[in-house]
Structure 1
Amino acid sequence: MKTKIINSLFLLFGISISAMAFNPKTDSANTEKAANRGFAVIELFTSEGCSSCPPADKLLAKIQEEHAGKPVYILAFHVDYWNHQGWRDVFSEKDFTKRQYQYASWLNLETVYTPQVVVNGRHELIGSQEETLRRALNIELNSGAPAQLHADAQIEAGKLKLAYQATNAGRGTVLQVALVQKVAHTMVKRGENAGRLLPHVQIVRRIQSFPAVDSGHVALNLPEGFNPTEWEVITFLQNTQTGTITAAIRPDFKQNS
């Protein structure tokens, strides 16, 4: 008698599980959850003239390797305020320094420094602090993305043309498009890092913002030396009032024949 009751319960339980497994509403919810998974845009503000920066560059290379294929997007911005210390960083741009100061305003910081890391426009830390960076990374990867972004990148006539769709972007949001050189090495001859061969990853060579709409097309001029096999594009949605990044994607380059 007990055996029959137990078997009946298992049969009933099995039918219930099967019904749940093939429930269209459950599958739809799982699909939506997967599409809305967490992500992390890690921005490093660095300089070849700063002796404290190489450990941060090395840490980001480590993070990138560990999270290959995952929604982790690394952007290294080389600032220009170290250039007067005896070595001009060839990757530095005034606009990158302006971006760092914009974060100081967004995050209510008294000053800027190198190496500095900002994660999703919400977490700020010293770029070489591995434990703190991993903690911020885990928080963002395990949080749902507030918005969604899809994009296709096309190379045509010396331009990068991007077609995109944004969902839940919200007011005051811009589409940021960054052209990134994946790897480079520099032999530094002067300044605090004189005599050192510095490896770099994910070097931002150009970033441009556009008003975000539900769907649209934007275009950027490609920098000199651009090579689609050695570069990538990272695009993301960012709130202009708070600096919070709400979605990000790394579209593949396509080339017109």
Structure 2
Amino acid sequence: MILKNLIGTAAFVALMFTVSAFVYTNKSEKPQQNNPTEANGFAVLELFTSEGCSSCPPADQLMGEIEKLYKDQPVYILAYHVDYWNNLGWKDKFSSVENSQRQQYYSRTLRSQVYTPQLVVNGKKEFVGSDRNNVEDAIENALFNSKNLHIDLSANSSEKEINVNYKTVENNSQNKLLITLVEKKSATNVQKGENEGRHLQHWQIVHQQNQISLKNSSEGTTSFKLPENFNTNDWEVIGMIQNTKTGEILGSAKAIF
């Protein structure tokens, strides 16, 4: 009698384990039904940051982690170092007035404040750039709910300049093609200001950005001045199509050397 009960109990446990394993397997397969590649989605993350801002290093660090985490997906990161912190004790060598002007453009289109670190995703949503949960949620939402307008990009360098060939079928007069020269990684020993004494790491640093009207031509070449100590392994080019009226980014692509 005892043996029968043990056999019955063992059979019941085995059955429950099988059912449990079946349910677990089904749950693990569900995310695969919504593949970002199938949805043709993309995410452009534009971070506005500064070496003179003590709140910015965590956002910079997060961008480096996001770059690794999504390296095989269409996630494009651009870090714009703004110049309005430069008169507060430390001049950011990566900063430019053009970067600050781009942030002001988003302030108008998104009706947002100008602050650092600010992150803008696909030109449509902005929030604090060090908020990991918000960043990851925004990326996943963009990957599954956006449609990427196709851009062909290729880049090559000579002794004096970088040439980028582009081609797209988009010709809406309200849209522009923005082609950006990006340094993948760099670092600075900050000697003054709010981050005095810190060794700061940076990722996806915007150095130059060319804006091209698509009204008359959707194919051509644009050039950048060759940066000092240029190495093809440390740089890349990111292109994106943006509606200048709404700020929404409609497509993006990357070219490596």
List gaps (5 residues or longer) in structure 2. 1-35
* Paired residue secondary structure (1:251): strand
Partner of 1:183: 185
Q: Counterparts of 1:237 and 1:124 in 2: how far apart (Å)? A: 18
Deviation at 1:217, TM superposition (A): 2.2
1:19-48 deviations in Å (ceiling 9; x for gaps): xxxxxxxxxxxxxx9587111110100000
Q: Counterparts of 1:52 and 1:132 in 2: how far apart (Å)? A: 17
Identity across aligned pairs (percent)? 41
Match of 2:106 among 103, 106, 114: 103
Taking structure 2 as the reference length, the TM-score comes to: 0.81
- Say if 2:215 is the partner of 1:242: no
8 Å Cα contact 2:109/2:247 also seen in 1: yes
Match of 2:83 among 80, 89, 92: 80
Q: Counterparts of 1:155 and 1:36 in 2: how far apart (Å)? A: 34
Equivalences for 1:173-252 in 2 at 5 Å? 173-212=175-214, 213-252=217-256
8 Å Cα contact 2:48/2:118 also seen in 1: yes
8 Å Cα contact 2:153/2:165 also seen in 1: yes
Whichever residue aligns with residue 54 of structure 1, its letter is: P
Deviation at 1:160, TM superposition (A): 1.9
Deviation at 1:214, TM superposition (A): 2.9
- What RMSD in Å do the two structures reach over aligned CA positions? 1.7
Q: Counterparts of 2:240 and 2:185 in 1: how far apart (Å)? A: 21
Whichever residue aligns with residue 173 of structure 1, its letter is: N
8 Å Cα contact 1:40/1:137 also seen in 2: yes
Deviates more, 1:157-166 or 1:72-81: 157-166
Deviation at 1:215, TM superposition (A): 2.1
1:226-252 deviations in Å (ceiling 9; x for gaps): 221111111111111111111111112
* Paired residue secondary structure (1:250): strand
Whichever residue aligns with residue 98 of structure 1, its letter is: Q
* Paired residue secondary structure (2:127): strand
8 Å Cα contact 1:50/1:82 also seen in 2: yes
Whichever residue aligns with residue 185 of structure 1, its letter is: A
Equivalences for 1:7-156 in 2 at 5 Å? 37-109=40-112, 111-156=113-158
1:81–1:60 CA distance, 2 compared to 1 (3 A): same
1:135-161 deviations in Å (ceiling 9; x for gaps): 111111012425211111122342222
Q: Counterparts of 1:41 and 1:197 in 2: how far apart (Å)? A: 27
List gaps (5 residues or longer) in structure 1. 1-32
1:162-208 deviations in Å (ceiling 9; x for gaps): 22221345331111111111111111111111111011111111111
1:70–1:34 CA distance, 2 compared to 1 (3 A): closer
Q: Counterparts of 1:35 and 1:160 in 2: how far apart (Å)? A: 33
- Say if 2:172 is the partner of 1:170: yes
8 Å Cα contact 2:161/2:223 also seen in 1: yes
Q: Counterparts of 2:139 and 2:223 in 1: how far apart (Å)? A: 31
- The alignment of Structure 1 onto Structure 2 pairs a total of residues equal to 220
Whichever residue aligns with residue 219 of structure 2, its letter is: S
Bigger Rg, structure 1 or 2:
2
